[in-house]
Structure 1
Amino acid sequence: METIPGKRLERLVTVVQELSLARNLQAVTGIVRTAARSLTGADGATFVLRDKDKCYYVDEDAISPLWKGSRFPIETCISGWAMMNRQSVIIPDIYQDGRVPIEAYRPTFVKSLVMVPIRTMDPIGAIGNYWARPHEATKEEAQILQSLADITAVTLENVQIYEELEARVKQRTEELEIANKQLEAFSYSVTHDLRSPLAGVLGLAQVLQEEYSLQLDGEGRELMGLMEQSVKNMSQLIDNLLAFFTTSKKELNSVEVSMKTIATEYFQLLRAQEPMERTFEFTISDLPDAWVDRTLIKQVWMNLLGNAIKYSRKKDKTNIQVGYEQTEQDTIYFVKDQGSGFDMAHYDRLFGAFQRLHNDQEFEGNGIGLSLVERIIARYGGKVWAKAVPGEGAVFYFSLPGS
């Protein structure tokens, strides 16, 4: 053991660094017991915690066993005296001091000791050093041991806070998992139970349309068309709900995907569903390929391109641009349109499920698409965001790390 003050200070600094990383009592006691002994060159060290009216000897580092795991009444042991009197105590000869319970020490190697409280204002424990030979601890030894005890007090408080926070996070996580499972079970039940009657309604509407259309006037036929369209919209909502709740459970089957090919394919597919008189200008860059699940990334492109087409409907010409930006960490893909845009003041609602920034009279939809996109990209550790100006269009971005 180095007795040079500078060396002891250096060792104490190392201990402080080690304790800063401790996250539980076992780690703290393991660091402190070893440090307490090495800082003074003692033959043994104990780590004691107050347990109501008892002194609990939690851990030790010694040349032979002391009292690890034992509990003694606080009034009958030196660690208890240090805690109750809130001060350190130096005893050169344990057999000459009336505060020492001799019978407890007789089976041990201990001849001399020093005991310091952990936290002097309201002690929560004590640290003891013991020698197998007569030794009167110096003021410096007692002081550095007290410094260790003070550092230990702060560490124990931090550990308690950390454990409480960890317990809260665990509890909230468990509650969230239960809520998600219940929500998924409910969603599955609702969507599956709705499919059968919805198919029945659609079938009846088609029968009415085919068999009785000649008996209906213009308004009647219009109402039948609206009913049929409403059923189709409901069916689409069910499909989107299923996709939304199964996305996080689907096992990722990542392959190398040509993003340019898939984006072009889905634009052409969506374009074919629009009236022939609509004018389109579609430009796409040589997008980098990505290592992703093909089925999921199709959902991303379908929703982003579908929104660009839909929200450009009121413009004389539909301009859509697909491109990318490269950073050191990510590849960022984007879909840009010159459509209706949206007010950035409502941005916080944009990616929420069932949240829409336009009413049904302006543009149809159910508010699931962007939530689905965000959930898919999040599975790859990426992000989704957007910029827009009302009446001038919007740009939607998504990043894929390491693409």
Structure 2
Amino acid sequence: MTILAISTFFIVELGVLFVTSQDFLGGLSELRSIIKADEAIRKAKQLSPSLHDSLEQIRLTPDRSDANTLYFVAESKALEQLKLCLSFVGRNSDVYPLIEEAIKHLAQLKKSSLEIFLSNDKSIAKQLVVEQLVLEWNEILTKSQISLTEKSSVVFDRLYAIRLRPLISSVTLAIVFLIMALILGLRISAKLQHSTGSLVNAINIISGGNLDYRAPLLEHDEIGRLTHAFNAMTSNLQETTVSKHHIENIINSMLDCLLVFSEDGTILRINPATTDILGYDSHELLNRSIQSLFSEDLTSISQSKNIETTCLKKDGTKTPVILSVSPLQNLGEGLKTRVCIIKDISDIRAAEEDLREKNILLANANRELESFSYSVSHDLRAPLRAVDGFSQALVEDYSNTLDDEAKRYLSRIRIAIQKMGALIDDILKLSRINRTEMNLEQVNLGELAHLVYHDIKEQQAKDRTIDFIVTGDLTCYADYALARIVLENLIGNSVKYTSKHPTARIELGATTIDGKKTFYIKDDGAGFDMAYAQKLFGAFQRLHRDSEFSGSGVGLATVQRIIHRHQGKIWVDAAVERGATFYFTFGISKNDFTI
């Protein structure tokens, strides 16, 4: 009865705890929705300057297409955030009508933008209307945030009110559980003492040498199963501890050759795999000298492993094998024996030969690829030079007869030709990376970085303010020329992608990640969305338009190939308008070569 009453109370307390937990989890879920809704409103408000600025550009600039596009992008993002907010707050929320009103204001803004775009109305009145709409839209969003804040306070108060209920229930349950455990423990202890008494007595009898005795089976529980297992173990002790049949099965199932031979080299025993691999019958090998099979003198080897030699088959061929020899326990009358395990490696040697042939074919293919690359480069450059030359001749010789539109077309032709020439150069550099012979040496990346940065600064950013920082131990073992290409691409990218900022900060340093020396180049430039990071190191893959930042999309692919040739890794961490940090390692260490 006591256990039943305690169990009933235990179940009731569990129910209370469950209901309280559900209330608490419900409050947490509601609070999480409020936070997400507030975040959506905040993101929508951040788009207010973009809406206002793009509308001003539509009203004032002659070419309004780009401004109109910018407005619709900002408007779509704001509408998306407001709809997301509606999904979080629910129709019964006080915030829901406010958000719907904000969406209506956004529709009025869209209507105004279309009127300005179509009518080219530059009046101050139209400007005031637009600014009033944007201001009202912001006020509505602010009211929504205030309402969400008030609602979150209510939820917090409710969570605070129920915070002690789970604690009280938990303490009560713990006390009940301890009482139940104590009662059950006393009952189980008494039962175990009775059940194990006979088993302990049987252990004492059998340990005294009476292997015929068996423990009585008193219970059909865990102790009973233990007693049954103990009796089975006792029966096994009366039989042979190691089964000869089992050992024979192991030897006969081996896929490698096994030979047991005496001190003078006489073969005493073999397994079936030996006859299958070598082609002999068993009677042709037994009592035969092991020296007649191998070029190595196995009788002089007491213990060794992974000896590579050849073995004579019955058909007269010699097959490459790897064998291991170890001493075997003496067999009666003091006879010293050894056991030899032999593995046929003819398939491995054939695969190695096939690999050598493929390497030769690969080398020939690389030479043909290099010749092809040269031919492509030469054949592509010749017509490009012709087009570029004739375009320049048209500009110089017929400048007076060409209108501005024609001159602009010729200028675009020349720019495209020059870009095509640069792309050909990048493709050739990328194709040569894996074929360039590496001359490894100790390289100070800090000193090399200063040289690279100075050249890039003079060529691309002479008038810009850039804080270039080099810190830490930057020595590594690498090919100097290839390491320079890595820094030229990474530092060049940092200079390029910080060009939209009035000032820039670029840092080269070293740290330790997973126990390995890791270099990094960090900037505070445009950055990118990490969702597209997997495309970054692919050839001709770019995350920015040419109108934003020029490039061929080959530089980072080249960097990755160089890092992989040095047995290293490269990865990146970035965020939009927060810059990017490229991490890379050189897997080659001082112990891999001699300077």
- Establish whether TM, by shorter chain, passes 0.5: yes
**Residue identity opposite 1:364 in structure 2:** S
Q: Are 2:476 and 1:249 equivalent residues in the alignment?
A: no
User: SS in structure 1 opposite 2:547?
Assistant: coil
CA contact (8 A) 2:440 2:478 kept: yes
Determine the structure 1 residue equivalent to 2:533.
347
Pick aligned residue for 1:63 from 277, 284, 288: 288
Shift in Å, 1:216 = 3.1
User: SS in structure 1 opposite 2:549?
Assistant: coil
- RMSD over aligned CA atoms reads 4.5
Determine the structure 1 residue equivalent to 2:387.
201
**Residue identity opposite 1:204 in structure 2:** F
CA 1:217 to 1:60, structure 2 compared with 1: closer, same or farther past 3 Å?
farther
Q: Deviations over 1:134-183 (max 9, x none)?
A: xxxxxxxxxxxxxx9xx99xx99xx9999999999999989977876665
Q: Please list, as runs of the form range in 1=range in 2, the aligned pairs for 1:43-82 lying within 5 A after superposition.
A: 43-46=267-270, 47-49=274-276, 57=281, 60=285, 62-64=287-289, 69-70=313-314
CA contact (8 A) 1:191 1:241 kept: no
Q: Deviations over 1:92-122 (max 9, x none)?
A: xxxxxxxxxxxxxxxxxxxxxxxxxxxxxxx
CA 1:212 to 1:242, structure 2 compared with 1: closer, same or farther past 3 Å?
same
Shift in Å, 1:307 = 1.1
Pick aligned residue for 1:217 from 400, 403, 411: 403
Structure 1 portions without partners, runs of 5+? 20-24, 72-147
CA contact (8 A) 2:266 2:288 kept: no
Shift in Å, 1:60 = 4.5
User: SS in structure 1 opposite 2:388?
Assistant: helix
User: How far apart, in 2, do the equivalents of 1:254 and 1:333 lie?
Assistant: 18
Q: Deviations over 1:358-377 (max 9, x none)?
A: 23333222221111111112
TM norm structure 2: 0.42
User: How far apart, in 2, do the equivalents of 1:215 and 1:307 lie?
Assistant: 42
Shift in Å, 1:288 = 2.5
CA 1:307 to 1:182, structure 2 compared with 1: closer, same or farther past 3 Å?
same
Pick aligned residue for 1:232 from 415, 418, 432: 418
Determine the structure 2 residue equivalent to 1:360.
546
Shift in Å, 1:335 = 1.2
Determine the structure 2 residue equivalent to 1:293.
479
Structure 2 portions without partners, runs of 5+? 1-239, 294-311, 316-338, 591-595
User: SS in structure 2 opposite 1:224?
Assistant: helix
User: How far apart, in 2, do the equivalents of 1:193 and 1:312 lie?
Assistant: 37
Q: Please list, as runs of the form range in 1=range in 2, the aligned pairs for 1:123-202 lying within 5 A after superposition.
A: 184=370, 186-202=372-388
CA contact (8 A) 2:474 2:509 kept: no
**Residue identity opposite 1:383 in structure 2:** K
CA 1:276 to 1:332, structure 2 compared with 1: closer, same or farther past 3 Å?
same
Shift in Å, 1:43 = 4.4
Determine the structure 1 residue equivalent to 2:508.
322
Determine the structure 1 residue equivalent to 2:566.
380
User: How far apart, in 2, do the equivalents of 1:318 and 1:296 lie?
Assistant: 26
Identity of aligned residues (%): 33
User: How far apart, in 1, do the equivalents of 2:471 and 2:314 lie?
Assistant: 73
Determine the structure 2 residue equivalent to 1:258.
444
Pick aligned residue for 1:305 from 491, 498, 503: 491
User: SS in structure 1 opposite 2:435?
Assistant: coil
TM norm structure 1: 0.59
Pick aligned residue for 2:468 from 282, 289, 294: 282
CA 1:249 to 1:43, structure 2 compared with 1: closer, same or farther past 3 Å?
closer
Q: Are 2:585 and 1:399 equivalent residues in the alignment?
A: yes
CA 1:206 to 1:173, structure 2 compared with 1: closer, same or farther past 3 Å?
same
Question: By percentage of residues, which structure has more strand?
Answer: 1
User: SS in structure 2 opposite 1:281?
Assistant: strand
Shift in Å, 1:57 = 4.6
CA contact (8 A) 2:573 2:582 kept: yes
CA contact (8 A) 1:37 1:61 kept: no
CA contact (8 A) 2:266 2:289 kept: no
CA contact (8 A) 1:356 1:367 kept: yes
Q: Are 2:557 and 1:371 equivalent residues in the alignment?
A: yes
CA contact (8 A) 2:523 2:581 kept: yes
- Larger RCO of the pair (alpha carbons < 8 Å, separation 6+): 1
CA contact (8 A) 1:300 1:373 kept: yes
User: How far apart, in 2, do the equivalents of 1:347 and 1:163 lie?
Assistant: 42
Q: Matched residue pairs, number?
A: 298
